[in-house]
Structure 1
Amino acid sequence: MADWPDVLVLGGGPAALCIAAELHQCGVVVEGIAPEPVEAAWPNTYGIWADELTALGLEPLLEHRWTDTVSYFGSGGTVQQDQVTAHGIDYGLFDRAQLQQHWLKRAAGVRWHRDTAERVSVASSLSTVSCSSGQQRQARLVIDASGSRTPHIKRPDQGPVAGQAAYGVVGRCSKNPIEAGRFVLMDYRCDHLSDAQRSEPPTFLYAMDLGDGVFFLEETSLALAPGVPYDVLQQRLQQRLDQRGVQITEVIHEEFCLFPMNLPLPDRTQPLLAFGGAASMVHPASGYMVGALLRRGPALAQALAEALANPDLGSAALARSGWRALWPLELVLRHQLYQFGLSRLMGFDETLLRRHFATFFALPQEEWFGFLTNTLPLPRLMGVMLRLFALAPWDVRRGLVLGAAHPQPPTFAQSEG
């Protein structure tokens, strides 16, 4: 028996655990390299539309679930003047520990090495990972699932990468900051901002009632290059709450997120495979990825297991098989459409974004849901985008065709206290 595993997975987060677990379930010999224990608690929250988990039979992984799911895209006036947009689909928040345990149990028997991969080299038959500890580990295939900032994956330079930045707080408040029992996907109301701030790239509130007097409140930007600074997001959240007479009385958890929204697809001829953020799997239209991990991980693992069954295939050939399974032409073309759309929305001011999203969520539910979850076949996706364009107000259509870029780099007003 060889001294090396079939596959070495780099990383210890959701993407790494997912692909290691699915490969293990396919009978592949897997080991992992992670800088921290894979049992360590994950810092970020992960949301998902509940129907995505229903289709996978994984609804028990939800810790919270909301039926009252809404957004605000109205005129920009006071709370009383703005009309609520009801989405009509349940939204859920993962139980992070349950999700982690789901994959750890499926990966029971996988050996994890606590180390940091510094260099990956590929020979004809084997890949070698050189670690900071001085250890070298080999496998027939290496999968980089260590995140979007990995130095090991080659991708074309297409300019600055736009980030969806967010600052969030889990805590208790002096009074309810949103309606009890409600989930707010996007609140673009901006009555709390100064005129100068309204000329800056817009941000929105993403919020949920977690029960027992606890709320999750997150100020978020759609996407910007460079990303909106955390102190600006924190300031805007504070202003939003002050305008509504709400004080945070207890901070249970703070969250700082920056997701790459328009990361170019990797060079899919390289002999190193990627998964998760390293493979540009963050959805350009939403910033979400966990649903894609759950849907696409098993198929990739099965394709790799079949390729690994051929002992004559070396690292480069195995990686090519993996890239074809992970990014078939259909998904590549869909990704390009999403990135084109995002490039246009990044230049929209607050007024245009409001009108765009109000039109978007007026589409039939199955269409906007399929768009946000990347589950529409390419012809249907193109049809939805054409319908959205036809229904949009003229200034939104003009922005989608010609763009409406903000001056770059953006500047932000200083705190007003």
Structure 2
Amino acid sequence: MAFLQASYSLSAELYINAKKERMKTQAIAFLAYHKGINCRRCSFRSKRISMRHNFLWKMCMKSSVSTEECRETIESTSHFSARNSPETVFDVGVIGCGPAGLALATALSERKLRVVCVDPQICKPWKNNYGVWLDQMESLNLSDCLYPVWSKTRVHIDNSRSRLLPFAYGRVDRVKMKQKLLNICKNSGVVFYEDSVENITQEQSQYSCITTSQKEKLFCRLVVDATGHSKGFVEFHTPHEPGFQVAYGIEAEVAQHPFPIDEMLLMDFRDCHMTGNMEDKSQSSMFPTFLYAMPMNSTKIFLEETSLISKPPVSFEHLKQRLLKRLDFLQIEVKSVMEEEFCLIPMGGSLPVLGQNVLGFGGSAGMVHPATGYMFSRVMEMAPFLAKKIENSIFHGENFSLTVSLWNELWSCERILQRHFFQFGGEYLSKISLNEMRDFFWAFFMLPDKEWKDFLDFRLTSSRERLLFGLHLFWRTNAALKFSLVKEAMLSGRLKLLKSVIL
């Protein structure tokens, strides 16, 4: 009974708001008509208010409330009925409400563009955990969405080599971050469809049509595929042969663990747990993995066994068995597992076909770091930049049938050269043994802090910076690694690597 009363009150409130919005729309339309207003931006605002009125009116008829796991309630998603109505054209349709999709939708909505988002699981938490450097999130004013934050970050190369990195690290609060972006979007009038996309067609030169599985038709001037690594609507050049980062992790309640709670363990390549027999030793050497650990307190911790990059990918079951052996060696007694994580990230491979009608963003655009797997901070940083370019294109009346200019902004010559340099690193790391990888990362983290940090943060933007980084790393490696790096550069890097450091 209480639920019905609450639903009635909600519907009544929405009805009143919708009525107010309709009166406001009628008043603006009346004023515009009699004053002879013909300004393009004013016309845009008037249409946007009209859309808002229609949306609220529909919400009077259909509303729902969904809750996250043990967290505060997230408002219901919005359904604006636009079936078979080409008169209702959104500026941008975003497919996917992961970090990339919501970041872009937020940036677009803040620029007053009409945005519709389609995702079958809008109100569910993001599946993967994301770790980021604190300074990156502070620069984006998103540090309030990190919990916890560790003041220290540690790497263990082997039993005798370890380094404490002078940068704080944080775990993204997936629920808080997603809710923050959703709230901004909804307050800015973004329309949400909790549905999957069946296909995208080019209706006319002016717009594309998104057809959902429920046969809703959404007409948009631009469609952005932010569905991640599924390669749903963005075409890649063939052959597309990426490496894969694979990780199996658990968030667990344990009796105790040996990790300092003020340190985040970024990489632990020690493999004493894999020395019990010859098979384990061989597997550990040929397929290097490391431990990634986030201690929440003395009895709660997130632990993940990670294969940095391999071709073909290491299996989840193999990583799980390695993690169990590591926990047994460290005498960590798991009392309960609160969450399991299965993470598979394609790294490198070919670029998307630039200029195609659907614009990619995030994993679907190949934006993941080809040598590290990082991408979260990059899409958060790139979203406002891309949104500005989209706004300028719309208000200058450009034709979005090819989206050539936007693809060229996303993958400029400078960014392509940077990607070639990073991709060489990823290809090299996918081929070396555990001992070689240890030596490589010891040389890497013994570089000046700015240099290795810039590599991880997509900051080596000029050929000079990339050349100096490569030379500094090369001279810090031992003779065996120098030889293998030169061999890889000659056999695989070739012209792409050369261009990346001289152009």
Rounded Cα–Cα distance in structure 1 between residues aligned with 2:105 and 2:140: 18
Rounded Cα–Cα distance in structure 2 between residues aligned with 1:157 and 1:224: 19
Q: What is residue 475 of structure 2 aligned with on the other side?
A: 390
Equivalenced residues, count = 395
8 Å contact kept, 2:261–2:298: no
- Residues 137-156 of structure 1: pairs in structure 2 closer than 5 A: 137-156=218-237
1:218 aligned partner, one-letter code: E
Rounded Cα–Cα distance in structure 1 between residues aligned with 2:355 and 2:485: 33
- Residues 10-409 of structure 1: pairs in structure 2 closer than 5 A: 10-36=95-121, 38-74=122-158, 81-108=159-186, 109-122=189-202, 123-193=204-274, 194-211=280-297, 213-311=299-397, 313-317=398-402, 319-378=403-462, 379-403=464-488
1:352 aligned partner, one-letter code: E
Q: What is residue 412 of structure 1 aligned with on the other side?
A: none
Judge which range, 219-228 or 173-182, deviates more: 173-182
Secondary structure at the aligned position of 1:401 is classed as helix
2:481 aligned partner, one-letter code: V
8 Å contact kept, 2:240–2:349: no
Q: Deviations over 1:212-269 (max 9, x none)?
A: 5201100000111221101000000111111122221211111110111114221112
Q: Deviations over 1:289-315 (max 9, x none)?
A: 11001111001000100000133x222
Give the deviation of 1:391 after TM superposition.
1.6
8 Å contact kept, 2:261–2:296: no
TM-score normalised to the size of structure 1? Answer: 0.91
1:290 aligned partner, one-letter code: F
Secondary structure at the aligned position of 2:183 is classed as helix
Give the deviation of 1:336 after TM superposition.
1.1
Rounded Cα–Cα distance in structure 2 between residues aligned with 1:25 and 1:50: 24
Inter-CA distance 141–32: structure 2 relative to 1 (3 Å threshold): same
Secondary structure at the aligned position of 2:90 is classed as coil
Runs of 4+ in 1 over 6 A off after TM superposition: none
1:112 aligned partner, one-letter code: F
- Overall identity of the aligned pairs, in %: 33
Q: Deviations over 1:113-140 (max 9, x none)?
A: 1221122222422112222222222111
Q: What RMSD over aligned residues (CA atoms) do the two structures have, in Å?
A: 1.6
2:347 aligned partner, one-letter code: M
Secondary structure at the aligned position of 2:421 is classed as helix
TM-score normalised to the size of structure 2? Answer: 0.76
1:174 aligned partner, one-letter code: A
1:390 aligned partner, one-letter code: W
8 Å contact kept, 2:290–2:305: yes
Secondary structure at the aligned position of 1:246 is classed as coil
Give the deviation of 1:197 after TM superposition.
2.0
Unaligned runs of 5+ in 2: 1-46, 48-86, 275-279, 490-503
Rounded Cα–Cα distance in structure 1 between residues aligned with 2:390 and 2:287: 43
8 Å contact kept, 1:160–1:226: no
Structure ranking higher in helix proportion: 2
Rounded Cα–Cα distance in structure 2 between residues aligned with 1:237 and 1:121: 46
Q: What is residue 90 of structure 2 aligned with on the other side?
A: 5
Rounded Cα–Cα distance in structure 2 between residues aligned with 1:344 and 1:45: 26
Rounded Cα–Cα distance in structure 2 between residues aligned with 1:157 and 1:381: 27
Secondary structure at the aligned position of 2:135 is classed as helix
- Give 1 or 2 for the bigger CA radius of gyration: 2
Unaligned runs of 5+ in 1: 75-80, 405-417
Higher relative contact order at CA 8 Å, sep ≥6: structure 1 or structure 2?
A: 1
Give the deviation of 1:275 after TM superposition.
0.6
8 Å contact kept, 1:22–1:106: no
Secondary structure at the aligned position of 1:148 is classed as helix
2:318 aligned partner, one-letter code: V
8 Å contact kept, 1:345–1:400: no
Q: Deviations over 1:73-117 (max 9, x none)?
A: 13xxxxxx4332111111111111221122112212200112211
1:339 aligned partner, one-letter code: Q
Give the deviation of 1:343 after TM superposition.
0.6
